[in-house]
Structure 1
Amino acid sequence: MMRVISAGVALATLLAAMPAAAQDDNGDGGKSRGRDRKVAIAPYIELSQVLTADVQSGDVLTYSSAAAGVDASVETRRVSVNLSARYEHQFAWDKNSGDADVVTGLANAQVRVARGLSLDAGGIATRSRNDIRGAAPVFFGNDRDNVSNVYSGYVGPTLTTGSGPIAINAAYRFAYTKVTEPGPTGVAPGSPRLDYFDDSKTQIATASVGFKSGTVAPFGLTASGGWTRDDQSQLGNRFDDLYGRVDAVMPLSANIAVVGGVGYEKLTSSARDPLLDSAGVPVTDSRGRFVTDPNSPRRIAYQTDGIYWDAGVVWRPSPRTALEAHVGRRYGSWSYTGSLSYAPTRSVGVQVGVYDTVETFGSQLQRSLRGLPAQFTATRDLLAQQFSGCTFGTTGGSAAGACMNSVFQSVSTATYRSRGVDAVVSLTRGSSTLGFGAGYSNRKFYAPNSPGVVIIGTSDESYYAQLFYSTSIGQHTSFNADLFANYFDSGLAPGIYSLGATGSVSRSFGRLGTTVSLGAYTFSQKGQEDQTTAQALLGARYQF
């Protein structure tokens, strides 16, 4: 409960600071307040009634919720803030279910301190699956099976400057991530226990200096370096990655260039042993997390120290299209990365990314969070995934959106090599928005060869797709729909399929609005009974 209160206090502080920052951003005491300034802050309170029906058993459960939240957008010469935040208390009507506090939200902010220097911050609060072998709920309402609350935020400066043709860039981010323990995971009895993530502190620093082709020389050249440090409270997990590299770009024509880079990287991941009982089983605390053996030495989970390289091609036939593909050697094997960005109009956007990196849950979450669009669509459909799936931009174009599914397919304390592809398409026409996201993710886990640690050397993978549609029906009515499908395979248990669909209609009567939502989802795993659930929500919102 204290964590929820802390999150609420942090959000309230941010909201209190926004109007003042927006008013003073021009340094004239607000005299130019009407110019280059867009501020929209919409706080609200909401009451809802939710009914849940288990199709297999016929059980019908219901709960009530009271919520307070805010949707805000601030755009001025010096301040940019986009925020959707919500605190909800759920009142259970069934004796087998308890009350719950839920915080969901997504935020990003930038304050331009001086020319070329800004302070950036962002955060996310959502709910996620925890154990990839277990239950796969799609609606994260009052269902706590294998569900954890995830809170994460970052802050740090960004510098963009230079002299003549020389460009200099640098950035630093400090991030904190907290994950609560899940409810019953639904994993088969007798299965080995996986450790539960607690919290981590992540530091990321990057810097580069270089020049474009055709300025100093016919080719472009950039020297860059970076450092990532992730410290987890669980088993003293420590991830330390330091690299430096040089990249060259040689244009072959007005639209095509070849690129290549070579670098040096030193990466070490380590942890301590769990404390074992007399039977050789890891000891857990009251929240199900491993207890660290105080006499354990630090053991290496993964280590690389040496040269890596990649080469590729860049194709930019127009300002609206960019394609980049790389192949190289890294982490002791072949590595493939790339990206595609296509924005034929301001209302249509396509983004595809292929990635390959060794990271932790905390560092992957931060990488994905910074890749989300600055202006995003916040859905009124409370039965759907709230920021744990795909998030779509509000304007299409080059900010089509991004998917967080690869991050939230499960939560792990181990270091892993993450490889996959994400694709997002966003289309905006008048008051209608259509978004489609899909992807594939594979993770290979690295952990010390310690007694009781079973995840070492295993892999998991997931496939996912989501379709989102939103439109206005007349002046006061809107309709939202979400379809999503997922497949999870842990390598430790049979694969799990999950499907879900939601739809909602909202009607406004001035400051008062009502919402009706319907949804259904199912997940299936070999050897276990399928679970199919239908839900309905009736809510009323008052916007101040």
Structure 2
Amino acid sequence: MTRPSRFAVTLSALLATCAFGLAPAFAQYGWSDDEVTSSSGRSSQGQGAPAPASGNDGYSGGYGDPYGDEASDGGDSGPSGAPTRQRLRVTPYIEANQVVTQEIRPGSDTDFYGQVAAGVDASVQGHRGGGSVSLRYDRVISYGDEVADSDSVSGIARGYVALAPGLSVEAGGLAARSRASGGGGTVLASGQPIDDENEARTYGIYAGPTFSRRVGAADVSANYRFGYSRVEEPGLGVIDDTVTPIDVAAESYVHSASARVGVAPGAVLPVGVAVGGGAYQEEVSNSDQRVRDFYARGDVTLPIGQGFAVVGGVGYEYVEISNRDVLRDDDGDPIIGSDGRFQTDENSPRRIAFETEGLIWDVGVVWKPSRRTQLEAHYGRRYDSDTYYGSFAWQPSSRSSFNASVYDSVSGFGGTITNGLANLPSGFVASRNGLTGDFTGCVTGTGEESSANCLGGALSSVRGAVFRNRGAQLAYSTSRGRLSTGMAIGYDRRTFFGAEGTALAAGNGAVDESYYANLGMGISLDALSSVNLNGYASYLDQGGSDLNDALLLGASAAYSRSLFRNLSARAALSVDRIDAVDFDETNASALVGVRYDF
């Protein structure tokens, strides 16, 4: 069966149905200059958006700060703020499946292969800690030469431990595999098997302490995060057909820290005031890239009326993005290493790709007419240009929600992974592909955190270059009786940086744009059986070249029925199409199998 070797598709379409969380459960209604956080202590603005670099957008004090998440999951209470009993759920399982894949276009090859899997889904929530993990090992057993035997591990985890009142330590991890192109675009957990030449395996972890306490009339908070990510992409070429060399991400190290002191309106003054600062650094192994961001700022919150306030802040920020050149041969061409990536010339001088220093500011409004509705919108100057960000969250009932988000940040690939993990709830159920079993990038929170949450566009590209990330998302979800539905649309834009005199200069200013839409539906037929339906569409305009543009269309249906006790039978169908300038393929897959939960 023919497999794609150079195409570009985006993860975002597959993640969109989980686009971002429900409205935050505010611990206290009324005005406070302290940032509004969700019930798990994370900032509401950053959740579900394609994740910017952790700590890198934290200068925005007050409402809507995507990185002022100094509040913690930790403490002496559960997610809702009230004391909770220890709750433990551990579900190990094994699966055996038979899969058939039929090529519809351009050929007509048929492939059969077997699949066995073992995994565990676990969650614990208690007085002084909580967390969830979904981990799965898959083995593909080939019956011929077209689909190779392979092993893979995929999963997601996040948790926290409260060490003392106001002080906690949190951590998270990710393992995912995706199909990738030489241009760096990826698609996660499609319904088709992934051959070695196009497989990208992404791993990421983060950990750090968080402190949040009230000292007199002031709210004092601080945090630190360390993150590490790695992309393993064997046999993938890195030369784009547009004659622009494109490097593929390898390793990234992230350090971020922030601190903030704020006083609520009416506590001391009629207005709320806050001061804070932070530092962010990301080191990317590709071309020895480095992102540095240091800021300090003050913020004011002015209540205008019940549920409405004007907010604003001003400060100083220094941002520097730099990189070295790559090793070159005698003709001056970049040398490709055995891992399929450019090799950094450690003796070459470090060159500046982007640098800005000076005044930053933003103004905005926050509207909270009720606990179920929040709107915020901000405009200002940052990165030597205009910046816009904001969010809208409306929860008409406990069973439905509407969310919108606009975002703007600068980061490398590893920064998006770190922040995406940090924004996940501590209690969740992970979403997996009905055919391959791979983690889709989305989770659904449990208990008070019962909202959908995704890593957003964090995995939509594995390019090694640092980028500015801007975009918007809209999502709606509802659950009524036996029917649950989710839908979303979004736009994501990445503008890449590369210093003059280096290999990355060829891609400086290159833009990846993706548009996506998704519809998902779950139906409980009776106490023993259920059906899940999904449809998605995505278009990626990559690097300004038509040769890497791609359209992804797909639909799937899965049926599950309990046979007896812990044994269940499964069946699934999917159709996926990839349409690019130099590639057009349509495939259909079907699965039948059994699963046993211990």
TM range (shorter): 0.7 to 0.9
Deviations 1:385-440 (A, max 9, x none): 95545544456x87532343422221121111110112232323345432223211
Q: Which amino acid is 1:251 matched to?
A: P
Q: How far apart are the structure 2 equivalents of 1:216 and 1:496?
A: 56
Q: How far apart are the structure 2 equivalents of 1:432 and 1:115?
A: 41
Q: Which amino acid is 1:247 matched to?
A: D
The CA deviation at 1:180 is: 0.9
Deviations 1:101-124 (A, max 9, x none): 222112111112221111111122
Q: How far apart are the structure 2 equivalents of 1:294 and 1:132?
A: 25
Q: How far apart are the structure 2 equivalents of 1:223 and 1:26?
A: 24
2:514 to 430, 449, 462: 462
The CA deviation at 1:339 is: 0.9
**Alpha-carbon contact 2:262-2:275 (below 8 Å) kept:** yes
SS of 2:327's equivalent in the other structure is: coil
SS of 1:105's equivalent in the other structure is: strand
After superposition, residues 119-198 of structure 1 pair within 5 angstroms as 119-131=169-181, 133=183, 138-139=190-191, 141-144=193-196, 146-181=198-233, 191-198=243-250
Q: Which amino acid is 2:200 matched to?
A: S
- CA separation of 1:332 and 1:188: change in aligned 2, threshold 3 A: closer
Q: How far apart are the structure 2 equivalents of 1:190 and 1:213?
A: 55
Q: Which amino acid is 2:279 matched to?
A: W
2:459 is matched with 408
1:500 to 554, 557, 569: 554
User: In the alignment, is residue 539 of structure 1 matched against residue 593 of structure 2?
Assistant: yes
User: In the alignment, is residue 476 of structure 1 matched against residue 528 of structure 2?
Assistant: yes
- CA separation of 1:236 and 1:191: change in aligned 2, threshold 3 A: same
1:427 to 458, 478, 483: 478
**Alpha-carbon contact 2:240-2:246 (below 8 Å) kept:** no
2:320 is matched with 268
When structure 1 is superposed on structure 2, of 475-484 and 413-422 the one drifting more is: 475-484
Deviations 1:50-99 (A, max 9, x none): 21111121011222222111111211111211221111122222324422
The CA deviation at 1:140 is: 5.7
After superposition, residues 60-459 of structure 1 pair within 5 angstroms as 60-131=110-181, 133=183, 138-139=190-191, 141-144=193-196, 146-181=198-233, 191-379=243-431, 381-383=433-435, 386-388=438-440, 390-393=442-445, 400-453=451-504, 454-459=506-511
- CA separation of 1:193 and 1:100: change in aligned 2, threshold 3 A: farther
Q: Is there any run of 5+ residues in structure 2 with no aligned partner, and where?
A: 1-73, 77-82
The CA deviation at 1:376 is: 3.6
Q: How far apart are the structure 2 equivalents of 1:306 and 1:135?
A: 35
User: In the alignment, is residue 513 of structure 1 matched against residue 568 of structure 2?
Assistant: yes
Q: How far apart are the structure 1 equivalents of 2:537 and 2:322?
A: 35
Q: How far apart are the structure 2 equivalents of 1:404 and 1:191?
A: 31
- CA separation of 1:286 and 1:382: change in aligned 2, threshold 3 A: farther
Deviations 1:12-33 (A, max 9, x none): xxxxxxxxxxxxx999xxxxxx
Identical counterparts, % of pairs: 38
Q: How far apart are the structure 2 equivalents of 1:523 and 1:186?
A: 20
Q: How far apart are the structure 2 equivalents of 1:468 and 1:392?
A: 13
Q: Which amino acid is 1:455 matched to?
A: G
TM-score, normalised to structure 2, is 0.80
**Alpha-carbon contact 2:523-2:530 (below 8 Å) kept:** yes
SS of 2:417's equivalent in the other structure is: helix
1:486 is matched with 538
- CA separation of 1:186 and 1:58: change in aligned 2, threshold 3 A: farther
Q: How far apart are the structure 2 equivalents of 1:79 and 1:320?
A: 27
Compute the RMSD of aligned alpha carbons.
2.6
SS of 1:407's equivalent in the other structure is: helix
SS of 1:303's equivalent in the other structure is: strand
**Alpha-carbon contact 2:482-2:525 (below 8 Å) kept:** no
- CA separation of 1:411 and 1:215: change in aligned 2, threshold 3 A: same
**Alpha-carbon contact 1:132-1:489 (below 8 Å) kept:** no
Q: How far apart are the structure 1 equivalents of 2:451 and 2:234?
A: 32
**Alpha-carbon contact 1:390-1:466 (below 8 Å) kept:** no
When structure 1 is superposed on structure 2, of 409-418 and 464-473 the one drifting more is: 464-473
Q: How far apart are the structure 1 equivalents of 2:338 and 2:452?
A: 39
2:102 to 32, 50, 53: 53
- CA separation of 1:356 and 1:379: change in aligned 2, threshold 3 A: closer
- CA separation of 1:340 and 1:227: change in aligned 2, threshold 3 A: same
When structure 1 is superposed on structure 2, of 312-321 and 42-51 the one drifting more is: 42-51
**Alpha-carbon contact 2:430-2:442 (below 8 Å) kept:** no
- CA separation of 1:450 and 1:68: change in aligned 2, threshold 3 A: farther
**Alpha-carbon contact 2:113-2:147 (below 8 Å) kept:** no
Where do 4+ consecutive residues of structure 1 move more than 6 Å? 185-188
Q: Is there any run of 5+ residues in structure 1 with no aligned partner, and where?
A: 1-24, 28-33
Deviations 1:307-344 (A, max 9, x none): 11000111010111110000011111111110111122
Q: How far apart are the structure 2 equivalents of 1:377 and 1:436?
A: 19
**Alpha-carbon contact 2:183-2:246 (below 8 Å) kept:** no
The CA deviation at 1:141 is: 3.2
**Alpha-carbon contact 1:280-1:451 (below 8 Å) kept:** no
Q: How far apart are the structure 2 equivalents of 1:126 and 1:98?
A: 19
SS of 1:73's equivalent in the other structure is: strand
Deviations 1:202-242 (A, max 9, x none): 11212111011111111111112121111122221211111
**Alpha-carbon contact 2:238-2:248 (below 8 Å) kept:** no
- CA separation of 1:337 and 1:38: change in aligned 2, threshold 3 A: same
Q: How far apart are the structure 2 equivalents of 1:320 and 1:75?
A: 25
Deviations 1:230-274 (A, max 9, x none): 112222121111111111100000121000011211111211111
SS of 2:458's equivalent in the other structure is: helix
Q: How far apart are the structure 1 equivalents of 2:456 and 2:341?
A: 24
